[in-house]
Structure 1
Amino acid sequence: MSASLTLVVLMGAMYAVGIYVMLERSLTRVLIGFLLVGNATNILIFLMSGGNGSPPLVTGTEADDSMVDPVPQVLMLTAIVINFGITAFLLALIYRSWWLAQLGEEGDTLPDEHEGETEAETESSFDPLDLDDAAVQEVLRASDERPGDDESSAPGGSHRTTPNDRTHDTTGEDRG
């Protein structure tokens, strides 16, 4: 068996198995089948590109017949990129399908492990005002503004001076 015949048999087997697996109902098998068909297509382009030759670098002379055609190489790279993009799309589709299968009967939330609690118990344990106050206190701690500071005359409570607020005297010293 020559290398070319081996690649032809491998390509045919990959097409056959890939199409067979793509006909299954599982999205994971569709993904595997698509990967097999994409790789078989790359082997087909490789086989159709011809034999070995010199690099296609033309330096002022006419193109020689022994030079390799670069178009099949470009087509193979394009096929790899397209195969990658569709594989990423199928993976996202598989994940979304799995996520929707995990949803409860309501269709928009996952089943809660605390389904037995009443609404009053939930409201007593969760007070949105406490969270808002905690968020405001966090922002105040992170900023320069402190409640009760009367030193600032600026409405925003900033103690900083800008370069426009400084006055310069003739000696070149800055006074803030």
Structure 2
Amino acid sequence: MSANVGLLALLGALVACGVYLILERRVTKMLLGMILVGNAVNLLLLTVGGRSGAPPVYGPQSKAADMTDPLAQAMILTAIVITMGLTAFVMGLGYRSFMFTSRDEVEIDPEDAKVVAKRQAAEDGRDDSDDDDDEDEPDGDDSDTHDSDTHDSGDDSGGVDSGGVGPDHDVGSAEGAPR
């Protein structure tokens, strides 16, 4: 059995393009990269599965040497279904992310940026580590870090509970006076 060099080169190009797209920051490009890599793997399984055209069953009229390997065909069908499910899942995640942020780009994690900065500082021979022991909050301007986590209820109270409902107010009273 001889290898089809042109098809193998095409598979290499598909995998290379797929990996490049997976490493991008936009979710749609990541999804397209996953689809390309999945299709390249399916074509690779089809290529190594044997010659085409022969039946995958052994009968009285066929020889065992002429038979096509049925395992490759079954694996391709399974891989197609798994790729379809994974594609639907990533599309759902991308849609949900887009609805929350109105952007299709994955942001840089503040903890990852801190690790990179410490590593670069260690490579340069200096120590720029922070002096505070608070590991819960990233360094920098913390004035707007939690703005995206709060939900706007539509009122302009500035975060003050003006509705009379809360742990310090009696819900049953008409005026909402504190207990």
- Do the aligned partners of residues 106 and 56 (structure 1) sit closer, same or farther apart at CA in structure 2, a change above 3 Å counting? closer
* Shift, 1:28, TM fit: 0.8
Q: Which runs of 4+ in 1 moved over 2 A?
A: 56-63, 104-109
Q: How many residues align?
A: 111
Supply the RMSD in Å over aligned alpha carbons: 2.9
Equivalent in the alignment of 1:82:
82
Preserved contact between residue 21 and residue 32 of structure 2 (Cα < 8 Å): yes
Equivalent in the alignment of 2:69:
69
CA–CA distance in structure 1, aligned partners of residues 33 and 85 of structure 2: 15
CA–CA distance in structure 2, aligned partners of residues 62 and 5 of structure 1: 29
Partner amino acid for 2:82? I
Bigger relative CO (Cα 8 Å, ≥ 6 apart):
2
- Do the aligned partners of residues 36 and 30 (structure 1) sit closer, same or farther apart at CA in structure 2, a change above 3 Å counting? same
Partner amino acid for 1:81? V
Equivalent in the alignment of 2:48:
48
Partner amino acid for 1:30? M
CA–CA distance in structure 1, aligned partners of residues 86 and 8 of structure 2: 25
* Shift, 1:57, TM fit: 2.8
Equivalent in the alignment of 1:162:
none
The structure carrying a bigger helix percent of its residues is 1
* Shift, 1:52, TM fit: 3.2
Partner amino acid for 1:71? L
Q: Structure 2: 5+ residue runs without aligned partners?
A: 103-146, 157-179
CA–CA distance in structure 1, aligned partners of residues 149 and 64 of structure 2: 69
Equivalent in the alignment of 2:118:
none
Kindly report which structure 2 residues correspond to 1:5-154, keeping only aligned pairs within 5 A, or say none. Answer: 5-52=5-52, 54-59=54-59, 64-102=64-102, 107-108=150-151
Preserved contact between residue 53 and residue 66 of structure 1 (Cα < 8 Å): no
| TM-score, normalised by the number of residues in structure 2 | 0.54
Q: Structure 1: 5+ residue runs without aligned partners?
A: 117-176
| TM-score, normalised by the number of residues in structure 1 | 0.54
Please give the per-residue CA displacement for 1:95-142, whole angstroms capped at 9, x wherever unaligned. Answer: 11011114x957556x97xx89xxxxxxxxxxxxxxxxxxxxxxxxxx
CA–CA distance in structure 1, aligned partners of residues 81 and 62 of structure 2: 32
Identity %: 40
* Shift, 1:6, TM fit: 1.6
Partner amino acid for 1:55? P
Preserved contact between residue 58 and residue 67 of structure 2 (Cα < 8 Å): no
Partner amino acid for 1:5? V
